[in-house]
């Protein structure tokens, strides 16, 4: 048994985000672990539904940092071996060019569901607030941050880098997508985002009249 293309995409996307592949004890093969806050239990169950053959126990709850969360671990399996090697070849979970080369629309959608968010930005030019999307990266090396930024830039995604947290001792960097680019990003990934997480995309983000052309070009390039 091997992973399907959809399973691989979801696995790559969520490993870029919150998930982990663990090697328990002296086991040769890794196991997959998901954990999410109580409000995202449905999202966790959506992920599990794609890997049902690997999970023998349902998600369980616990209190973590004074908040309720849900977590679940799969059985160990050699099917996770190749992707584990790509992410953990250095001994820790790391982002590499090999991994980013495998990021497709589904993987990007799951990555955004894990680490993305929406935020309002006040524009003094027109006196109204606009909804922007951003991807929050954390726990990486400077080399990995630059690698991810270069990958997005090479794909044509225009963004601004907010490294305030990194400059103040917190290992986190945010990629802010502008108004138009947020609309295009939403349109690109929204069909691959589960219903329970579409709130992150913002209902007010809609394609402008020429946006359908830009989206078609973006989809062809990706």
Quote the radius of gyration of the chain (alpha carbons, Å): 18
Q: Which of 68, 96, 124 is the last residue of a domain?
A: 96
Is the same domain home to 65 and 138?
no
Q: How confident is the model at residue 125 (pLDDT cuts 50, 70, 90)?
A: low
Residues sharing a CB contact under 8 Å with residue 213, sequence separation 6 or more, in sequence order: none
Is the same domain home to 180 and 145?
yes
Is the same domain home to 154 and 70?
no
Q: 91 phi and psi, to 5 degrees?
A: 100, -10
Is the same domain home to 127 and 205?
yes
pLDDT confidence of residue 86: 96
Q: Does the pLDDT at position 158 exceed 80? A: yes
Q: Is residue 45 part of a domain?
A: yes
pLDDT confidence of residue 149: 96
Is the same domain home to 78 and 112?
no
Query: What CATH number has the domain bearing residue 206?
Result: 3.10.28.10
Q: Does the pLDDT at position 5 exceed 90? A: yes
Q: Is residue 140 part of a domain?
A: yes
Range of the domain at 91: 5-96
Q: Which of 96, 123, 152 is the last residue of a domain?
A: 96
pLDDT confidence of residue 204: 64
Q: Does the pLDDT at position 165 exceed 90? A: no
Q: Does the pLDDT at position 57 exceed 60? A: yes
Torsion angle, alpha carbons of 107, 109, 114, 119, to 10: 150
Q: Is residue 83 part of a domain?
A: yes
Tokens representing residue 60 in the block: 């369980």
- Identify which has the larger pLDDT, 88 or 207: 88
Q: In percent, how much of the chain has pLDDT > 90?
A: 76
Helix runs in the chain, H state only:
5-16, 41-49, 81-88, 97-100, 105-115, 142-154, 164-167, 179-189, 211-221
pLDDT confidence of residue 1: 64
Q: How confident is the model at residue 179 (pLDDT cuts 50, 70, 90)?
A: confident
pLDDT confidence of residue 10: 98
Q: Is residue 42 part of a domain?
A: yes
Dist. CA 146–CA 28, nearest whole Å: 32
Dist. CA 164–CA 167, nearest whole Å: 5
pLDDT confidence of residue 205: 67
Is the same domain home to 44 and 11?
yes
Q: Scan for tokens 């270069």, then name that residue.
A: 150
Question: Sign of the C-alpha dihedral, residues 197, 179, 207, 107?
Answer: negative
Q: Is residue 101 part of a domain?
A: no
Cα 193-196-200 angle, rounded to 5 deg = 65
pLDDT confidence of residue 216: 47
If one counts the domains in the chain, the total is: 2
Q: How confident is the model at residue 198 (pLDDT cuts 50, 70, 90)?
A: very high
Q: Is residue 89 part of a domain?
A: yes
Is the same domain home to 154 and 188?
yes
Q: Does the pLDDT at position 117 exceed 90? A: yes
Start-to-end Cα distance in the chain: 29
pLDDT confidence of residue 60: 97
Dist. CA 30–CA 15, nearest whole Å: 13
Q: Does the pLDDT at position 98 exceed 70? A: yes
Is the same domain home to 121 and 89?
no
Is the same domain home to 83 and 63?
yes
Q: Which of 96, 123, 149 is the last residue of a domain?
A: 96
Q: Does the pLDDT at position 213 exceed 50? A: no
Dist. CA 179–CA 168, nearest whole Å: 27
Q: How confident is the model at residue 129 (pLDDT cuts 50, 70, 90)?
A: low
Is the same domain home to 67 and 145?
no
Is the same domain home to 113 and 213?
yes
Is the same domain home to 9 and 86?
yes
């Amino acid at each position: 048994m091997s992973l399907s293309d959809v399973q691989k995409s979801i696995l790559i996307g969520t490993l870029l985000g919150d998930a982990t592949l663990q090697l328990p004890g002296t086991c040769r093969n890794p196991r997959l672990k998901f954990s999410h806050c109580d409000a995202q239990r449905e999202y966790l169950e959506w992920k599990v539904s794609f890997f049902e053959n690997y999970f023998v126990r349902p998600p369980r709850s616990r209190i973590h940092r004074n908040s309720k969360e849900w977590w679940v671990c799969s059985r160990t399996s050699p099917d996770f071996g190749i992707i584990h090697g790509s992410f953990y070849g250095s001994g820790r979970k790391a982002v590499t060019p090999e991994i980013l080369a495998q990021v497709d629309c589904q993987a990007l959608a799951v990555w955004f569901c894990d680490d993305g968010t929406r935020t309002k930005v006040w524009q003094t030019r027109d006196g109204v607030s606009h909804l922007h999307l951003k991807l929050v990266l954390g726990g990486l090396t400077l080399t990995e941050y630059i690698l991810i930024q270069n990958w997005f830039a090479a794909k044509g995604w225009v963004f601004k880098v907010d490294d305030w947290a990194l400059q103040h001792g917190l290992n986190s960097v945010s990629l802010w997508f502008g108004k138009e680019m947020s609309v295009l990003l939403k349109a690109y990934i929204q069909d691959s985002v589960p219903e329970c997480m579409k709130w992150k995309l913002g209902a007010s983000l809609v394609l402008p009249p020429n946006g359908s052309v830009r989206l078609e070009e973006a989809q062809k390039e990706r």
